[in-house]
Structure 1
Amino acid sequence: MASGKKRRKYLLVYILVVVGVFVVGVLVGPLLREKGYQIKDWVIQPRPPREMKVVKLYFSDPQAEHLILEERKVAALPYMSEEAKEILKELIKGPLDSSLKPTIPLQTEVEDVYLKDDCFYVNFSLALKEKHPGGSSGELLTVYSIVNTLLINFPSQSRVQILIQDKPVETLAGHIDIRNPLRKRLDIVKEP
């Protein structure tokens, strides 16, 4: 008789467990499926397009005597240093207008851009110095295409320090002293 009671207890526990699992499945299953659909919908929704802004880049005229303004659209980024880096990458790509000349060697990379007080610190790869074609006017236009491009697009800043591999250098090609931060020079800019 005792074994019959034990069997009934086990059977009752077994039935309660099965019913409990069934009830939990019925109640929780739709919630899990609903969350799955939400995640699926979230994953396939397209990312909103980035906001674009018009920036001003300075390139050389054909005679390498003046800087000429060219406007271009770039993605607006949340941090000034990130946006400055993107603008400099566009400057390195060179002008879209075939009558203008690039001022920075194409192999140059912008390693980093950071801000302190009212000054941009721009760290370039060694290619800016090693691949530079030289000449005093070419060097002048390279330096001030960088400086003017940044300071015209970011009027809250007033100086630019050019670095090569994290260090200030005396010159790029032997003519223009860039050991200290520089201010923009509009006297070498010519209207198109």
Structure 2
Amino acid sequence: MALQPRKRANISLLVPFLVIALVFGVILWQKYRASREVSPVPQMQQLGGKRTAVLFFVADGTRLAREAREVGPCADTVVCLEDVLEELVNGPVGEFDEALPEGSVINTVRIDGDLASVDLNRTFSAALPSGSSAEMLAVYSIVDTITVNFPQIARVKLTIEGNDKALLQHLDLSDPLVPDYTLEQPLQADSDSVPPPSKKNKLDNQDK
């Protein structure tokens, strides 16, 4: 009979430890979930409800160059990213050349943790000028534009019409790509490279 109070005493001592363990478990789970979530607000400079994005276009046919662009407010990160990529597709407003071939379309955008997946139409790959330099500039104009405006995104996966093993003439898009800001320095020209057409050249051709 004397043992029963001891059992109750042992159980009463165990309860606080269980409560503490449960609290710590909940805290750790919340921290884990927070580490896996993407911030709903993009890391872009915001001015008066509008945002200033940085877009990468082609300068001198040999390198990427930054152009600031004001874009409207957006509801979440995916929508913000779609808006920025739409501006990239629209092309430069200043002295730079387009990085993406005419007719390129962003089909879908998806974000999973630190990975952004961007699906492009077939025209993007089919209309690229020949040469590894043109491919590098086009591909990394997308990658660098995404990562510089959204620091929470570290990798970008490009697909062509849903094909996640897409191959360009010189570049393999099977694996996610990380940004390469060294492309803001002039590339070594390859023998078969053709720089993207400038707006001036387009106007000249139209006049002819």
Alignment equivalent of 2:170, drawn from 142, 151, 175: 175
Contact 1:93 1:106 in 2 (8 A): no
**1:126-165 to 2 correspondences below 5 Å:** 126-165=122-161
Contact 1:66 1:189 in 2 (8 A): yes
Given the alignment of the two structures, is residue 74 of structure 1 paired with residue 71 of structure 2, yes or no?
A: yes
Deviation at 1:151, TM superposition (A): 0.3
**1:22-37 to 2 correspondences below 5 Å:** none
Alignment equivalent of 1:102, drawn from 98, 102, 106: 98
Alignment equivalent of 2:120, drawn from 118, 121, 124: 124
Give the TM-score of the pair, scaled to structure 1. 0.68
Please tell me the residue identity of whatever aligns with 2:71. V
Aligned length: 139
Contact 1:56 1:153 in 2 (8 A): yes
- Aligned-partner SS, 2:166: coil
Given the alignment of the two structures, is residue 56 of structure 1 paired with residue 51 of structure 2, yes or no?
A: no
Contiguous gaps of at least 5 residues in structure 1? 1-49
Q: Structure 1: how far apart are the matches of 2:144 and 2:89?
A: 14
Q: Which runs of 4+ in 1 moved over 3 A?
A: none
Q: Structure 1: how far apart are the matches of 2:90 and 2:165?
A: 23
Contiguous gaps of at least 5 residues in structure 2? 1-47, 187-208
Deviation at 1:106, TM superposition (A): 2.3
- Aligned-partner SS, 2:68: strand
- Aligned-partner SS, 2:182: coil
Q: Structure 2: how far apart are the matches of 1:190 and 1:91?
A: 20
| Greater relative CO (CA pairs within 8 A, separation 6+) | 2
Alignment equivalent of 1:93, drawn from 81, 84, 90: 90
Number of the residue aligned with 2:182? 187
Q: Structure 2: how far apart are the matches of 1:102 and 1:169?
A: 25
Percent identity between matched residues is 27
Deviation at 1:85, TM superposition (A): 1.1
Larger Rg: 1
Q: Structure 1: how far apart are the matches of 2:185 and 2:75?
A: 32
Deviation at 1:109, TM superposition (A): 1.0
Please tell me the residue identity of whatever aligns with 1:179. S
Q: Structure 2: how far apart are the matches of 1:56 and 1:141?
A: 16
Please tell me the residue identity of whatever aligns with 1:76. P
RMSD: 1.6
Deviation at 1:170, TM superposition (A): 3.5
Deviation at 1:189, TM superposition (A): 1.4
Deviation at 1:171, TM superposition (A): 2.6
Q: Structure 2: how far apart are the matches of 1:144 and 1:171?
A: 15
Give the TM-score of the pair, scaled to structure 2. 0.63
Deviation at 1:72, TM superposition (A): 0.2
